[in-house]
Structure 1
Amino acid sequence: MSNKPKDLRLGLLYLGRSEYSKVIQLLESKIPLYVENKEFYYILARAFFYTGDISGAKLYFDRGQKIEWDIDSALYLGVLGLKRRDFNSSLRIWLDILDEDPNNIRAKRGLAALKKYSTIDDLDNFIRSKKIDSFVPRKPYRFSVSGIIALSALVFILVLGVIVVKTDTVEKVYTAITTKFFVQSKNSDVVDSDRDSGSYFILSELNKNFIDFSSQSEYSFSGAQIEEFFKISNNLFLQHKDNRVRTYLNLIKNSNANQQVKQKAEALESYLVDPTWTNFSDSITFKDVYRDTFQYENCFVKWKGKLSNLNIVDKKLHFTLLVGYDSEKILEGIVQVELNENIKIYENQPIEVFGQVILRDNKFYIEAATVMQYIIKEK
């Protein structure tokens, strides 16, 4: 008889029957009894995951990972990153998995998807599709005794051949996907002669150890992560997505990468072109910048809000932007804005600001390039 606690055995039974609400009802009230039990959190987190409760699933997967890190939980967290549109989180998780298990097919599928679906709309459509199910372990199922016996017999007969064929096929399929992506990027219609030099911003000619172990930095990455960030930067550059390129170069420049790698990043950065109001399409939120300012330094944002505290200092307009408060319903955050133009704008009115994230004294403000204001008349 199993030594597993009755609650966990019953939770697994409900999970296998896809009775996820029963799992949650059974286990969530018993957290104090299993506060240090890794399996408890793994069962509960999967129940939340399959009911579509993203925040609940992330909460309990994270708690379990703090007790003992495991690949299966990390795979779920990678997908949760996609569902939360936190693509950098997914990228880091999948790279961590591949550091531990270089042949993990689900992590490879995740990285391939980030490369293939390079626009927000494409990623949104992909995330809503069933294809994302292949990034996590199979759903738990409860088999009958006869079914288990039959399945065991089949596995016994075929297991060696399946393992050999599957391993070989996975490697070839992944190589084909990544090769196809890079070839298409280099020959895409969006790439012109001015970008040809971008194809040479690669790390293959450098020492494979890209790390400076003596440096103090904001971010600490593995060599594989740094190499992957550079590959993504290069491909985004070839697609003229320079604002997104900068987010990855910032990760490299503020990391434990060695000086040669950082010089490569700075060289690529020198080719970047600033976006304009009309061609800007990235979605960088106040929360993104506030949470990880170094990653978004010098990136451009376009935020709506309400203007307050308008002043003129050194012939510059200075004001406070209440981000997201243009409709006076949600306040996402407060940021200072500087505009090097003496134009007529009005306090306590909605405004849209397009500008660059600038770091000063460990705080960020927006150096505005363009502002647009619609005056709401009192009725």
Structure 2
Amino acid sequence: MPLTILQKAKKLFDQKKYSQVISLLEPNILQYRESFQFYLYLGLSCLHTGDAGGASSYFQRARQIKMRDPDLLTAQAALFLRRGETDQAVEYYLDALEYDPDHALAKKALQFIRKKGDKETFLNMAETGKITAFYPKPRRTSLHPAAVAAPLAVFILCASIFGIKAVSLSVGQETRADLSSISLQAIDLKNSVEAGGSYRYILTEKQVVQAFENSQRYFQSYRDNQAQVEINRILNSNASIAVRTKARLLMEYLSEPGFDTLKDNFSYATVIQDAYLYQDCWIRWKGMAANVSAPDDRFGFNFLVGYDTRSALEGIVPVSFDKPVFLDPSRPFELLAKIRIENGSLSLLGGGIYQSVSP
């Protein structure tokens, strides 16, 4: 029986003929538009040939099809390692271990980062080609159902490597950081507001303390968007410098959501009423793209919010990605993005796009 195109590509990949894999697969994107392994092998081949932009684009498309594959997560982590961005790589490796606690490459990479994980090391490895040691080789089956919770041994391994101080071991949720070190102290409570000055929000001492406590409570409840709103309320108010500083520290603990993990999604109508209150929050809006541009390694367009049905337009917001994305501008899609305010105007920093493969 003759081999299929994908079977031929896998054989070529095993023979390390990565350019031939790309030449074989790219003309058949339409035929394999719903194949996870097609985009995974295509992305990995781009990675091996040094085309990081192409790899990123194909990995993103693969993740739209299957979000929880550990081989894909380690491949995306390798992209961060190439740039020396170990913090982001660690997050992807930990996610890979959550879905496959025995994933050897993820364990190996975390141990290496712990011992030699400085930026210069990985930049040198990328330059010399040694970084390929962290490129995954896909297994023939990709059946890795998400575990309800990673075994305790894996959690202990990660905690010992990265100094994670957990507050709980709740089944089905990642542990959150202990925020006791940035809680308000007695002196903060006594001097929680400043006198004089121009502020967007004027709060009483009680309101400042309540907003700060709300932000921590929302954080521990995995409602990072609501926590960010309370932080913004503090940062744009007459709260004391000490309180504002601790609010900014809390921001560093907030996580980037995915399409399936975003909570408290704010509508365009809500955000436009007071954009500063929602700055740095994440949104998931439907719409269309117009005026698409892709200069250098960036990608941008004007997002027609609510125009996915082509019957009503809520607003137009500029969107920019710091990486190439896979997008058909002729069809509607769902956008995951972070709210930004530039020169007093609302804009979005793209995080991901979900677009149905069917017209």
What TM-score comes out, normalization by structure 1 length? Answer: 0.47
Q: Which has the higher helix share?
A: 1
Which one has the largest radius of gyration?
Answer: 1
What TM-score comes out, normalization by structure 2 length? Answer: 0.49
